[in-house]
Structure 1
Amino acid sequence: MHKNIIITDFNELLQHNESINSFQTGIFVLNEVIAELVATPHIANFYGISYCFKETCKVKNDLETYIFGAGKLFLLRPGEVHQVEASEGFTAVHILVDQSFILRNFMLYQHKIASLPFFRTDFPNLIDLNKKEQKKIIWYINKIMSLNKDTGNFAKHILESLLTAFIYEICNIISSHPEKEEKKISGGKEIFEKFTALLAENHLVSKEVKFYADKLNISPAYLNEVIKRKTTKSALTVIHEYITFKVKIFLKHTDYNISEIAEIFNFPDATTFIRFFKKHTCLSPLKFRNSLFTKDSTITADL
């Protein structure tokens, strides 16, 4: 385990890695994994698109473990705890996209962003592509890599447009895999999607329904009604289950003590945190952590 889950900042990544090609537009293209970035658990504040050409690597993302191999696409989203163990000969291209790029290039469609599969945490991180899809992905990657080295007057704008199209193409591919899609929901869909995005972004800040309702400019009662319609659970239950899920990640991947985790998750004290965790898991945080090393444990999120 590691004391810290590193928060990897997009701009710091640029400053400390001169080999990375960038137009200063919020796009990095890497031909190899940066060992110091991925060897320990870290939380990235940017999006990542990776395509594997050869061999495999083990990717631990939140509490899931994936084998990322040739012909597969892996999507990293902000806020996810991420760690990579690459095998010898592992070859992939990684396109890192700053959130500022998303804001600029999807500005006119912000009301739709939450519904796009690329941005949604309830859609899969790992996508097993068929031959036709692989050809499409490789075509975009080759074009992006070529343009990323271009110094022409309009190369920046062409690159941004191409990457935007690439993201939409990925959304199209994900949507064509019906067995991996989320169940269709109707009524209040936009509120539900915005709520889940806000929860992912603010779960360390607030555990209160009113906080999220205020962000959405709706009443707590109406938010609760929408969440119950989608999940059969109250909004407060969904918030608490998500926080419990994230706490499990810290207990598994770090050696922060109980008081430190309580502080990170904005609990008033360790006693309150222990009571909260025990209520939702029937185990104290310490017993839960110890159970991970005494038997094989499968941890799942309720969301």
Structure 2
Amino acid sequence: MSITLHRTHNYLKLQQSNFDIVNFQDLDKFESEEILTKNHKVDFYALIFITEGKGKHSIDFSDYEYDKGTILAIRKDQMHRFYLNKATKGFLLCFKEEFLNSYLNEIEVANAIQMFNELLVSPKTQLKDCDFESIFKLIKGIEKEVLVVNDIYSFKLIRSLLHILITLIYRIKSTGYNTLQQSRYLKEFIIFQNLLEEDYYKTKKVYDYANKLGYSAKKLNMVVKFIANKSAKEFIDDTVIIKVKRLLIHYNLSIKEIAFKTGFNEPTNLYKYFKKHTNSTPEEFRKKYV
């Protein structure tokens, strides 16, 4: 008796399997062009693997050029948009954390998800010719299990193949920059980042986060500088700006509402902060992307 691997028929809504794979040329069959080509947020992780053609894709308002061998990693809750191009061939893999949780232990899942952390590493990976074939075979193996085999063993095999795929990309990304794999500060950094995600609207001060973590401000700066190559304050500001941008685009909120939601007592404070870090006002940014 086989287990049906449901197709989403709508890439924004993953089914019970919490996983899907879509041929890049079939995207418009699963979702409307109006949604795909506008900035939109997803609640799953995604990998785009380009096998042929040139183009670009927007992730958190930055455009990334791609061609054969490009892999783009999109973290859940990120804003992104497609520039649809019929000449582009490749695959879109979508999965939720639960899909890996049912197979891997907590540490392995955390390590896998770090590959999608855009504040640590670039969302873009460009494969060398020697790596392309091995990645391509893994993805084709996943596609075969979904579309052709689809038996009682397919779920386990897909999870295993996906884990191998993410680990292999992780290895490729770390070539020449192996801080993520070797750093003794990675655990401390992840704890800080998780705290920042929860409390960014409460405080934007380095001292407050250091105090909550039981560190000195000097140690927190050292941890963030070693992992993210920027100061703790710069990392906090980058995170807050991304949050504000997503609210400006994804939600029909007034600037005043966004200011209070992101921890600014007055809208004028948000204006000054946003202008300082983006060289545009919130209205100018919203007008550009809506």
TM-score category of the 2 structures, normalised to the smaller one: 0.7 to 0.9
Aligned 8 A contact 1:192 1:226 in 2: no
Partner letter of residue 104 of structure 1?
A: S
Partner letter of residue 91 of structure 2?
A: V
Partner letter of residue 226 of structure 1?
A: K
Aligned to 1:285: 281
Of residues 192, 206, 210 in structure 2, which corresponds to 1:195? 192
Aligned to 1:242: 239
Aligned 8 A contact 2:72 2:123 in 1: yes
Residue 30 (structure 1) aligned with residue 28 (structure 2): no
Aligned residues: 273
Q: Distance in 1 between matches of 2:163 and 2:145?
A: 14
Aligned 8 A contact 1:204 1:265 in 2: yes
Residue 227 (structure 1) aligned with residue 195 (structure 2): no
Partner deviation per Cα, 1:41-97 (whole Å, 9 max, x = no partner): 112121111111222332111132112222211111123211111223222211101
Percent sequence identity over matched residues?
19
Task: Give the match's secondary structure for 2:155.
Answer: helix
Partner letter of residue 219 of structure 2?
A: V
Of residues 68, 82, 85 in structure 1, which corresponds to 2:83? 85
Q: 1:219 to 1:95 in 2, by over 3 A?
A: same
Partner letter of residue 239 of structure 1?
A: I
Q: Distance in 1 between matches of 2:265 and 2:203?
A: 12
Task: Give the match's secondary structure for 1:25.
Answer: coil
Aligned 8 A contact 1:22 1:29 in 2: no
- What displacement does 1:223 show? 6.3
Aligned 8 A contact 1:115 1:190 in 2: no
Aligned 8 A contact 2:224 2:232 in 1: no
Aligned 8 A contact 2:180 2:186 in 1: no
Q: Distance in 1 between matches of 2:113 and 2:11?
A: 35
Q: 1:121 to 1:238 in 2, by over 3 A?
A: closer
TM-score for both structures, normalised by structure 2: 0.74
Of residues 253, 259, 262 in structure 2, which corresponds to 1:262? 259
Partner letter of residue 154 of structure 1?
A: Y
Residue 97 (structure 1) aligned with residue 95 (structure 2): yes
Task: Give the match's secondary structure for 1:222.
Answer: coil
Partner deviation per Cα, 1:259-297 (whole Å, 9 max, x = no partner): 24324424444244335446x54978358649979xxxx
Partner letter of residue 155 of structure 1?
A: S
Aligned 8 A contact 2:47 2:74 in 1: yes
Aligned 8 A contact 1:63 1:249 in 2: no
Task: Give the match's secondary structure for 1:195.
Answer: helix
Task: Give the match's secondary structure for 2:102.
Answer: helix
Gap regions ≥5 residues in structure 2:
1-5
Q: Distance in 2 between matches of 1:18 and 1:80?
A: 18
Q: Tell me how large the CA RMSD over aligned residues is.
A: 4.1
Gap regions ≥5 residues in structure 1:
1-13, 294-303
Residue 154 (structure 1) aligned with residue 153 (structure 2): yes
Partner letter of residue 172 of structure 2?
A: I
Q: Distance in 1 between matches of 2:286 and 2:112?
A: 37
Q: 1:181 to 1:61 in 2, by over 3 A?
A: farther
Aligned 8 A contact 2:18 2:96 in 1: yes
Q: 1:103 to 1:80 in 2, by over 3 A?
A: same
- What displacement does 1:21 show? 12
Aligned 8 A contact 1:118 1:171 in 2: no
Q: Distance in 2 between matches of 1:240 and 1:73?
A: 27
Moved over 6 A (4+): 18-23, 252-255, 290-293
Q: How does 1:15-54 map to 2 (within 5 A)?
A: 17=9, 24-31=16-23, 32-33=26-27, 34=31, 35-54=33-52
